Structure 1
Amino acid sequence: MNPGRSIRLFLVDGTPNGLLTAEIMNWTGHVLTGPRSKLAELVQRPECGRTGVYFLVGPDPDNNLRSKVYIGESDDVAKRLKQHNRPEASEGTAGGKDFWEKVCLVTSKDQNLTKTHVKYLESLLISIANQVGRCELLNGTAHDYGSLPESDRADMAFFLEQIRTVLPVLGFDFLRELTKPSAAVSTSPAIPVSHSPRFNLEVPRYSISAQGQEIDGEFFVLKGSKARAEWVGTERGYQGLFKQLVGEGVMVAQGSNNLVFSDDYAFSSPSAAAAVVCGRSANGRTSWVVEGTGQTYAAWQDQQLNSVTPEPEAE
């Protein structure tokens, strides 16, 4: 089992919806985040005058399962954030869009981050966000800053891992690793991977035959799985997600009766996965069964709970 880690969170104004700072033991980084409505207070913080990277985050009106994100860097983050907040900022840039509702910035407590360091970090962060695909990234192509000395690159690799650890804790998951079942291991050695057995969902009447697997809390439907050709359920539920996956080419037509998954796709729950596969609302806890045994997902999960030996009580 991977050893636990401590993250220190501090509510600056004592409210859960205000400014928040986060730090990890033995890491020189410092994270500050807050809503755009608190921007006037945020830019007065001393860390906003330092060199760092920042993230502007907001909802995607065309896809409520993803966020829009802009990643930037500056040696005076407060000044840059003020520029992004101006209504007259040019269209086509993060500043000219009213998409962002939250801001998150990462600086260094020892102030040893240089302009070259944050440019390098920005480049890596843009590349990772593009690769992971959990958000609509508003940046252009990441610049290559490979001229950083080897020792500095090693320091920034560690700094980057800490950013990827702490941001999901704060509700920003656009850098969180997406480890597909088709990948043998995690691409990040600092992030452990846990996975379930494979599950099957079969509905012979509609030629539905899908395979799934749960990895680190996300339920994947595997590439090649066959789903119903159209949504036949109510307009509520997962109809929007079904149409989205068809529109994005995640599910493509195969004959007149089926759609087939062109890649592994992560769902928030077994029921969401089952609904999209079946084209209607479905209980994923009973629809998915363990490959080779026929045990339902619910029974398998219950078995995992029953196999846990309770800790002995201290006398």
Structure 2
Amino acid sequence: MTQGRSIRLFLVDGTATGLITAEIMNWTGHVIIGPRTKLAELVKRPECNRTGIYFLIGPDPDNSLRPLVYIGETDDVGKRLKQHNRTEEQGGKDFWERVCLVTSKDQNLTKAHVKYLESQLISRARDVGRCSMVNGTAHEYIGLPESDQADMAFFVEQIRTVLPVLGLDFLRDTTRPSSPAATPISAEPERSPIFTLELRRHGIRAQAQEIDGEFFVLKGSQARSEWRGPEGGYQNLFRQLCDDGVLRPEHGQMVFTDDQAFSSPSAAAAVVSGRTANGRIAWVVADSGQSYAAWQDQRVTEPAIETQSG
């Protein structure tokens, strides 16, 4: 069983859309995130005078499924953010809408530390594949003593723990259904039974599995060759997956070339069906024919029944 963690969030101006700080118990790191519209307030804060790592996040106009992310390091975060706030013609960056800073409360992060962190985080973001990177190729930085590298490895894991809580998923590992089982020292992710969706008239059959709250359509599943539903909705998602090569034509149908995560069973069902669909009904447990909705409801009610009987 995995151990719980305590993360302290503070709404600086009392709103969820303003600056937010985050801290983890027994970690010297300090995280602050906010929209670009709050940059004037952000650069006045003491954290911006420190050495640290920062993330610039914005939409990717060429890929609606992933954000654009730039990862940087600096001795003076505030100064660097002012530079990035300029236009592209002036040497800045136009794409970003949010910024996240990671500094140290004890101010013991050095230039060497953050260069190492930058290298590790860029590599991790590329490996995870949840975002499009603005950075060029990450330079491997090994100019740290072995003990410092161990400290920074711990620092990276804390960053990867806190960022998803702030709505930034691009460093979070994707546990695909085809991934090997977890090692004994790590927690095995929670996996659902296999679900199926069949369009018998079109000879289409797809399989899916829910892992750690993400709904995956499995590699080799079939989908309709074209979007047949109304304009809008999940049509753009269908086209994006075709453009990315996740859906590839084969024998008059589309086939998933890899396990693909979806935000919901309905999003997955729509892509497979080529039209809007209620995924909670369309997907059924392969062995029993129970709908996803019924399976989920059973999981919710079973603990209550056990409690009453106990």
Same fold per superposition (TM over 0.5) = yes
User: Partner of 1:48 in structure 2?
Assistant: 48
Comparing 2-11 with 264-273, greater Cα deviation is found at 2-11
> 1:105 is matched with which residue?
101
The 3-state SS of whatever aligns with 2:64 is strand
Shift of 1:178: 1.0
Q: CA deviation at 1:82?
A: 0.9
* CA apart distance, 1:15: 2.3
Aligned match of 2:225: 229
Question: In the alignment, is residue 215 of structure 1 matched against residue 211 of structure 2?
Answer: yes
In the alignment, what sits opposite 1:298? 293
Report the secondary structure of 1:40's partner residue: helix
**Residue 55 of structure 2 aligns to a residue in which SS?**
strand
1:65: how far off? 3.0
Instruction: Give the CA deviation at 1:143.
Output: 0.7
| Partners of 2:54 and 2:186 in 1: CA distance | 23
**Whole-Å separation in 1 of the counterparts to 2:144 and 2:286:** 49
Q: Match of 1:167?
A: 163
The answer as to whether partners of 1:83 and 1:89 remain within 8 angstroms in 2 is no
Deviation at residue 148 of structure 1 after TM alignment: 2.0
Further displaced range: 190-199 or 211-220: 190-199
Cα distance in 1 between the residues matched to 2:54 and 2:187: 23
Q: Cα gap change, 1:31/1:201 in structure 2, threshold over 3 Å: closer, same or farther?
A: same
Q: Match for residue 119 of structure 2?
A: 123
Specify the SS of the correspondent of 1:298. helix
What's 2:266 paired with? Answer: 271
Q: Secondary structure at the match of 2:192?
A: strand
What value does the CA root-mean-square deviation take over the aligned residues?
2.0
Q: How many residues align?
A: 308
Query: Is 2:255 aligned against 1:260?
Result: yes
1:64-213 superposed matches below 5 A: 64-87=64-87, 89=89, 95=92, 97-185=93-181, 193-213=189-209
Q: Report Cα offsets for 1:19-38 as digits up to 9, x if no partner.
A: 11110000000001111111
**Distance apart, 1:236 and its partner CA:** 2.2
Please report the TM-score for the alignment, with normalisation by the length of structure 2. Answer: 0.94
Which residue identity is paired with 1:207? G
Aligned partners of 1:10, 1:311: CA distance in 2, in Å? 37
C-alpha distance in 2 between matches for 1:296 and 1:15 = 40
Shift of residue 99, structure 1, vs aligned partner: 1.0
SS in 2 for 1:195: coil
Cα offset for 1:191? 6.8
Contact 1:54 1:105 in 2 (8 A): yes
Q: 1:159 to 1:201 in 2, by over 3 A?
A: same
> d(CA) in 1 for partners of 2:19 and 2:31?
11
1:3 shift after superposition: 2.2
Give the whole-Å Cα distance in 2 for the aligned partners of 1:195 and 1:139: 34
Tell me the CA shift for residue 186 of structure 1.
5.5
**Structure 1: 5+ residue runs without aligned partners?**
none
* 1:196–1:213 CA contact under 8 A, matched in 2: yes
Task: Give the Cα separation in 1 of the matches to 2:229 and 2:10.
Answer: 45
Equivalent residues of 2:216, 2:261 under 8 A apart: yes
| 8 A contact 1:179–1:186 mirrored in 2 | no
Aligned-partner Cα distance in 1 for 2:88–2:132: 23
Secondary structure of 1:145's match? coil
Distance across 1 between alignment mates of 2:218 and 2:40: 46
Partner of 1:14: 14
Tell me the distance in 2 between the aligned counterparts of 1:287 and 1:298. 9
**What is the CA-CA distance between 1:63 and the residue it aligns to?**
3.1
Report the residue type matching 2:299 in the other structure: Q
CA distance in 2, matches of 1:127, 1:87: 27
Gaps of 5+ in 2: none
Distance 1:186 1:220 in 2: 18
**Structure showing the higher helix proportion among its residues:** 2
Partner in structure 1 of residue 241 of structure 2: 245
Q: Deviations over 1:156-193 (max 9, x none)?
A: 11111110111111111111111111102459x77762
Counterpart amino acid of 2:28? T
Greater shift in the superposed pair: 281-290 or 142-151: 142-151
Looking at structure 2, the residues matched to 88 and 275 of structure 1 have their Cα atoms a distance apart, in angstroms, of 38
